[in-house]
Amino acid sequence: MPLSPDQQAEIDAQRAQSQPTLRATSPGIEAQLYRAHPVLDHGFVRVIDYMGDDAAITQAARVSYGRGTKSVQNDEGLIRYLMRHWHSTPFEMCELKLHVKLPVFVARQWIRHRTANVNEYSARYSVLDREFYIPAPEHLAAQSSINNQGRGATLEGDEAARVLETLKADSDRAYDHYEQMMGQEGQQGLARELARMNLPANVYTQWYWKVDLHNLFHFLRLRADPHAQYEIRVYAEVICDLVRDWVPLAYAAFEEYRLGAAQLSATGVQVVRRMLAGEEVTQETSGLTKREWAELMGVIG
Amino acid sequence: MPLSPDQQAEIDAQRAQSQPTLRATSPGIEAQLYRAHPVLDHGFVRVIDYMGDDAAITQAARVSYGRGTKSVQNDEGLIRYLMRHWHSTPFEMCELKLHVKLPVFVARQWIRHRTANVNEYSARYSVLDREFYIPAPEHLAAQSSINNQGRGATLEGDEAARVLETLKADSDRAYDHYEQMMGQEGQQGLARELARMNLPANVYTQWYWKVDLHNLFHFLRLRADPHAQYEIRVYAEVICDLVRDWVPLAYAAFEEYRLGAAQLSATGVQVVRRMLAGEEVTQETSGLTKREWAELMGVIG
Amino acid sequence: MPLSPDQQAEIDAQRAQSQPTLRATSPGIEAQLYRAHPVLDHGFVRVIDYMGDDAAITQAARVSYGRGTKSVQNDEGLIRYLMRHWHSTPFEMCELKLHVKLPVFVARQWIRHRTANVNEYSARYSVLDREFYIPAPEHLAAQSSINNQGRGATLEGDEAARVLETLKADSDRAYDHYEQMMGQEGQQGLARELARMNLPANVYTQWYWKVDLHNLFHFLRLRADPHAQYEIRVYAEVICDLVRDWVPLAYAAFEEYRLGAAQLSATGVQVVRRMLAGEEVTQETSGLTKREWAELMGVIG
Amino acid sequence: MPLSPDQQAEIDAQRAQSQPTLRATSPGIEAQLYRAHPVLDHGFVRVIDYMGDDAAITQAARVSYGRGTKSVQNDEGLIRYLMRHWHSTPFEMCELKLHVKLPVFVARQWIRHRTANVNEYSARYSVLDREFYIPAPEHLAAQSSINNQGRGATLEGDEAARVLETLKADSDRAYDHYEQMMGQEGQQGLARELARMNLPANVYTQWYWKVDLHNLFHFLRLRADPHAQYEIRVYAEVICDLVRDWVPLAYAAFEEYRLGAAQLSATGVQVVRRMLAGEEVTQETSGLTKREWAELMGVIG
């Protein structure tokens, strides 16, 4: 359970206070506001605030004076057109603010997306909690033998047990020593900004993360992808569900033209044309490397 | 009057529709939503949407679970501390979306602030209105004789009349020709994306502009400054009033630590110290150039 | 001729001064440094400086200590892999600085690419030259009847002549009045920052523009595209040639995986699969709109 | 010693290869290219590449055709003017690329500066080295009792010894287990992307980091400040020296108007004016809080 009773009470209190507003609202995401959606063993994603809805995208694209009398079909068609033709600025007119609790090694991947606003819990100023990510046994994966940057089969038997035991014991010991070094009974107590360096990368941190919809889609396309590391992908998948609740038309366009879409290289286009013209094309005659051929077959096979 | 009856009706319709929300709301800015605040002769600023309030700043700085039981004084103190010590990320957690109508030459200055989202009315796709900025006589200024990048005295008499006449006549003629070139009666009609090139820089354009509070303050510090060109400064001043309505504590801190603050150079600090120690310091003995000395006297004089 | 003799002499002087450097150099782009490549009737693109070469991309991707003993083939393979899999950060490690002279309406499109550094010639501070873009007759296009945002056939006969005459006369008159309003003989002289507003959007401006290779590729993909307006596309095409000279391996990968590549939507992928499986697919049975069907046929037709 | 003989050889090889270039060069920074400047116990800063010099700043500000015949004094005066009046874009026209080796907890602070390009050594793809930051005894500081985010006195005697022993032992054990978990003798071997999570935040990572001069100055102002954590400040100080070698005029202006400058709040300005007018002002009558009063006294005291 990632939340303490006090934290849950604060969330409940916020969900109990409704205010009138003249702004655009999205009922789907209002229903999710402030709730903690669990991710991994101690993490979560919470929606703290949002700006705009599907109509806000078309309103900006049209530089409108009002919400417009245009129909939903018109909005849908325009949103699909904008997504298909890489018009990014109308999607930037929606904004999402999340509170995320996540292991440090996931945070380090996440922060590489620079076009977002971040406030992270400060371990210079405050003491971190004793919370560490320990993978579920089914996610304890061996190094891939074919991909330097990936996972292979799940670890089995004794090896899995040894790894889990090591991760748990090292995390616990590191935290014990973290506390001992900072302790002020009978000693001065090491500065927090130094003591934190003893904590391993599976310790949990948390932050407020705010991003516009265009850049969020870019993040999701890379991080909800099967090639992304499992531990960040699960966050991306939870956020995908939240975005679908928030801006359903934009999310559907994102699925059609980004998540489920495929990119063909210039040579790949020629291969498809030759195949459709009835030619028997093989990797050798394709002009593609083996790896690219395999990728193309993954798309059109 | 910058708005047509249809446009005003669309605005009124939006102001008539209140929805419940669980999000943070700011009553001061709700009262301004959608209304057109006139600027110059045909321009305006309208608030289309906002995210966050004063408490959202401290909530992000603390990475809080709830709105918190902290008092307003605490919020105020923390906001002032954050502003004073150049903590920018908590202010990035608030966001404002504006609809602005402005002359093209003002838009060209404005767009140099890159950390914002923009959707501009497209003159490739649509026809611009016959609206041009013609300065009020009291803002028709001569070139400054001491500042290459500034204005001097107001133009007088015949000269002022000639300039106004020229600006009006050229604007009108340019627009007449713009329409004639695009016209399709008895001719093919020039493409809009080409015809627009005949329009002068005082023609009005409009855009949706969305920005976070930190970057908005940066914009306002530069553009609400007396050295900014009058025609952009009046927009900045209207936005200052709107931000005061929206996040009064943050705006007060901005006035104290940015708008009303002064920067002393390393040498300037020494000059003040010497003066306070009783020394008679002159420009010659100050180590400052004449220009810097004048600037320092402007601060402490 | 876009350059005055003085300007040409300054360029020649810079090309005559060679210095030794320990940095990575690219002979292909050294040969182009400072030269003005003409674009449109008065515009140009000049390379002022560059950072990095093809090897700098792989060096950054590998976080190397040296230039490496890796072969050119390895570099090429890695660059293609990075481009194909949307790894953007290694391409950000190269940087290009250009001096561009361009009509204001082109500059207004260009500046929408925000991830670049810009210093524009200031018309508050200085007087602009009497240089206006007047399209060549073959680029004087009618409004497209099928695309709101595009061009159709070339204007013919009298209409073309009338348009050219109008553009020239209005430009000249606007500049005459610009000078007259600023003139200080027998009058105060209007401030430059105001007088400039009388100049139409086909007047030339110039700027220094600095951008990293990843963001430059993004710019080129959008602006060297057939859908881009002709007057910005010709700038993009000149820059494409310069980038090919500078980083030939990266540019080849860009052509293969971006410029010449095609994006298939999720439904589009299914259509191709069905066709390759021998099914007769029509627009009606494809699940695509007419417009999307036409776009798909444009790719695989 | 942060470098292996192989690494040093690669650096020497790069320093041995000089090429002619037509670009602007800076002799001061050429002398530093590729060399590793040691920081902390295993870290370093290396300059990999640079774009521009002092003259490139004024050249961009003037949108020049040549290097110009302007004197060095003119360049210096203009650079100081630009810095004093917050003109940021000319400084963005210079760019620096560094290779930095640094502890992970320092990297996590550093990366919060988003306006830079980064390629980090990937612990998903590669195995990290057994290198951990262990503070020198004189930098082993206690928590400050007056500043939640700072350090107090140096730890003494047994406590210091205990802390060092703990940090060393935990680092070593974490690395032993990291290797054991990944080992493939007699077991499958945990994926690198998972095993890395056992490594503490004092493990060293490395990256290529590229930034323009304006944003670098912003970074240095915050991180070379006495309030910055010691372990990042030492990196900033080394970079300050390198920037001084590279663009001496710009660096001098940075020292005068940023590093050594002081900001007075609106109220602080009034206090100084009252003092200079002979009034005896105390904290109580100043309108400043105790903390602000202390800060002001620190400036003018």
Q: What angle do CA C111, C112, C115 make, to 5 degrees?
A: 85
Which residue of the set D23, D35, D151, D223 is catalytic?
D223
For residue B160, what pLDDT is reported? 95
For residue C173, what pLDDT is reported? 98
C130 marked as part of a ligand binding site: no
Pick the residue of C145, C159, C163, C229 with the most B CBs within 10 A to test the interface with B by mutation: C163
- Angstrom distance (rounded) from CA A167 to CA D68: 63
Question: Which DSSP letter does residue A127 get?
Answer: P
For residue C277, what pLDDT is reported? 95
- Angstrom distance (rounded) from CA A35 to CA A51: 17
Q: Is pLDDT at D281 greater than 90 in this prediction? A: yes
Per the CB < 8 Å rule, is B20 touching A21? yes
| Listed ranges B59-63, C66-70, C176-180, D64-68; the one with the highest mean pLDDT | C176-180
3-state secondary structure chain C: CCCCHHHHHHHHHHHCCCEEECCCCCHHHHCCECCCEEECCCEEEEEEEEECCHHHHHHHHCCCCCCCCCCHHHHHHHHHHHHHCCCCCCHHHCEEEEEEEEEHHHHHHHCCCCCCEEEECCCCCCCCCCCECCCCHHHCEEECCCCCCCEEEECCHHHHHHHHHHHHHHHHHHHHHHHHHHCCCCCCCECHHHHHHHCECCEEEEEEEEEEHHHHHHHHHHHCCCCCCHHHHHHHHHHHHHHHHHCHHHHHHHHHHHHCCEEECHHHHHHHHHHHCCCCCCHHHHCCCHHHHHHHHHHHC
Alpha helices by DSSP H, A183-265: 192-195, 213-223, 230-246, 248-254
**Minimal-distance CA residue of chain B relative to D259:** B266
Tell me: the pLDDT tens digits for C73-88? 789 999 999 999 999 9
Percent of chain B's residues with pLDDT above 90 = 90
**Minimal-distance CA residue of chain B relative to D270:** B300
Q: Is pLDDT at A27 greater than 80 in this prediction? A: yes
- Banded pLDDT at C191 (limits 50, 70, 90): very high
Mean pLDDT of A96-122: 96
Q: Is pLDDT at D101 greater than 60 in this prediction? A: yes
For residue B74, what pLDDT is reported? 86
Smallest Cα distance from D281 to chain A, Å: 34
- Banded pLDDT at C142 (limits 50, 70, 90): very high
- Angstrom distance (rounded) from CA C48 to CA D224: 32
D193 touching chain A per CB within 8 A: yes
Of B118, B124, B143, which has the smallest distance from its Cβ to C191's Cβ?
A: B143
Mean of the per-residue pLDDT values of chain B: 95
Q: Is pLDDT at D69 greater than 70 in this prediction? A: no
For residue D2, what pLDDT is reported? 77
Q: Is pLDDT at D73 greater than 80 in this prediction? A: no
Candidate from A79-93, B212-226, C198-212, D58-72 with smallest mean pLDDT = D58-72
Q: Is pLDDT at A2 greater than 80 in this prediction? A: no
Mean pLDDT of D123-145: 94
Tell me: the pLDDT tens digits for D1-59? 579 999 999 999 999 999 999 999 999 999 999 999 999 999 999 999 999 999 999 99
Q: Is pLDDT at D274 greater than 60 in this prediction? A: yes
Spatial contact of A84 and A257, defined as CB atoms under 8 Å apart: yes
Spatial contact of C35 and C46, defined as CB atoms under 8 Å apart: yes
Strands A37-39 and A43-51: antiparallel
C124 marked as part of a ligand binding site: yes
- Banded pLDDT at C126 (limits 50, 70, 90): very high
Q: Is the dihedral of CA C238, C242, C243, C248 positive or negative?
A: positive
Residue set of the binding site of B for FAD: 89, 112-114, 120, 212-214, 218
Spatial contact of B246 and B26, defined as CB atoms under 8 Å apart: yes
- Angstrom distance (rounded) from CA B232 to CA B225: 10
For residue A69, what pLDDT is reported? 52
A133 touching chain D per CB within 8 A: yes
Tell me: the pLDDT tens digits for B122-131? 999 999 999 9
Candidate from A208-217, A257-266, B62-71 with smallest mean pLDDT = B62-71
**B25 to chain A: which residues are within 8 Å by CB?**
19-21
Spatial contact of B83 and B257, defined as CB atoms under 8 Å apart: yes
Mean of the per-residue pLDDT values of chain D: 95
* Pair of tokens at residue D224: 């070379």
Q: Is pLDDT at D184 greater than 90 in this prediction? A: yes
Spatial contact of B59 and B275, defined as CB atoms under 8 Å apart: no
Catalytic, A223? Answer yes
* Pair of tokens at residue B277: 């120690």
In the block, which residue shows the tokens 């928030």? A246
What are residue D212's DSSP bridge partners?
A: D95
- Angstrom distance (rounded) from CA D152 to CA D155: 9
CATH 3.30.1360.170 corresponds to the domain C5-133+202-259 = yes
Mean pLDDT of A75-80: 94
Kindly provide the ipTM of the predicted complex, given to two decimals.
0.95
Question: Which DSSP letter does residue A32 get?
Answer: T
For residue C158, what pLDDT is reported? 94
Distances from the Cα of C262 to the Cαs of A270, C221, C234, C250, C268, in angstroms?
Answer: 11, 12, 22, 18, 11
Identity (one letter) of the amino acid at A135?
A: P
- Angstrom distance (rounded) from CA D58 to CA D64: 9
Q: Is pLDDT at A70 greater than 80 in this prediction? A: no
Alpha helices by DSSP H, chain D: 5-15, 27-30, 54-62, 72-84, 104-110, 157-182, 192-195, 213-223, 230-246, 248-254, 266-276, 283-286, 290-300
Of C222, C263, C272, which has the smallest distance from its Cβ to A272's Cβ?
A: C272
DSSP string, A56-107: HHHHHHHT-SSS-S--HHHHHHHHHHHHHTT--GGGGG-EEEEEEEEEHHHH
C112 marked as part of a ligand binding site: yes
Q: Is pLDDT at C20 greater than 80 in this prediction? A: yes
For residue C69, what pLDDT is reported? 53
Smallest Cα distance from B136 to chain D, Å: 29
Residue A46 makes CB contacts below 8 A (sequence gap 6+) with A11, A34, A35, A36, A37, A98, A99, A100
Q: Judge residue B24's burial from the number of C-beta atoms within 10 Å of its C-beta, 0-12 exposed, 13-18 middle, 19 or more buried.
A: buried
- Angstrom distance (rounded) from CA A183 to CA B64: 25
CB count within 10 Å of CB B90 equals 24
- Angstrom distance (rounded) from CA D94 to CA D88: 11
**Minimal-distance CA residue of chain A relative to D124:** A149
- Angstrom distance (rounded) from CA D47 to CA C21: 13
Alpha helices by DSSP H, B130-276: 157-182, 192-195, 213-223, 230-246, 248-254, 266-276
Smallest Cα distance from C220 to chain D, Å: 20
**D140 to chain A: which residues are within 8 Å by CB?**
190, 194
- Angstrom distance (rounded) from CA C257 to CA C246: 18
Distances from the Cα of B52 to the Cαs of A89, A211, B27, B58, B213, in angstroms?
Answer: 22, 14, 11, 11, 10
Distances from the Cα of D9 to the Cαs of A56, A211, D33, D207, in angstroms?
Answer: 58, 45, 14, 20
Q: Is pLDDT at B1 greater than 60 in this prediction? A: no
Spatial contact of B260 and B65, defined as CB atoms under 8 Å apart: no
For chains A and C, count residue pairs whose Cβ atoms are closer than 8 Å: 76
Smallest Cα distance from B29 to chain C, Å: 29
- Angstrom distance (rounded) from CA B97 to CA B85: 27
Mean pLDDT of B183-188: 94
**C205 to chain B: which residues are within 8 Å by CB?**
none
Percent of chain D's residues with pLDDT above 90 = 90
DSSP string, D27-94: HHHHTTBT--EEETTTEEEEEEEEE--HHHHHHHHHT-SSS-S--HHHHHHHHHHHHHTT--GGGGG-
**Of the candidates B211, B247, B210, B242, the residue with the CA atom closest to the CA atom of residue B224:** B242
Q: Is pLDDT at B107 greater than 90 in this prediction? A: yes
- Angstrom distance (rounded) from CA D25 to CA D47: 14
Residue C186 makes CB contacts below 8 A (sequence gap 6+) with none
Q: Is pLDDT at A1 greater than 60 in this prediction? A: no
Taking the domains of chain B in order of start, what are their residue ranges? 5-133+202-259, 137-200, 266-300
Using the CB atoms, write b or e for B191-221: b if 16+ within 10 Å: bbbbbbbbbbbbbbbbbbbbbbbbbbbbbbb
Spatial contact of B250 and B80, defined as CB atoms under 8 Å apart: no
| DSSP-derived 3-state class of residue D152 | strand
Residues of C with active-site annotation:
223
Q: A157-182 and D157-182 helices cross at what angle (nearest 10)?
A: 160
Indicate the helix (H) or strand (E) that contains A27.
Answer: helix A27-30
In the block, which residue shows the tokens 């990937």? D122
Identity (one letter) of the amino acid at D21?
A: T
C18 marked as part of a ligand binding site: no
**Minimal-distance CA residue of chain B relative to D271:** B300
Question: Which DSSP letter does residue A132 get?
Answer: B
Mean of the per-residue pLDDT values of chain C: 95
In the block, which residue shows the tokens 């101690």? A42
A74 touching chain D per CB within 8 A: no
Could you report how far apart the first and last alpha carbons of chain A are, in Å? Answer: 43
Tell me: the pLDDT tens digits for B261-281? 999 999 999 999 999 999 999
- Angstrom distance (rounded) from CA A73 to CA A70: 8
What are residue A264's DSSP bridge partners?
A: C262
Q: Which chains touch B (3 or more CB pairs under 8 A)?
A: A, C, D
For residue C70, what pLDDT is reported? 60
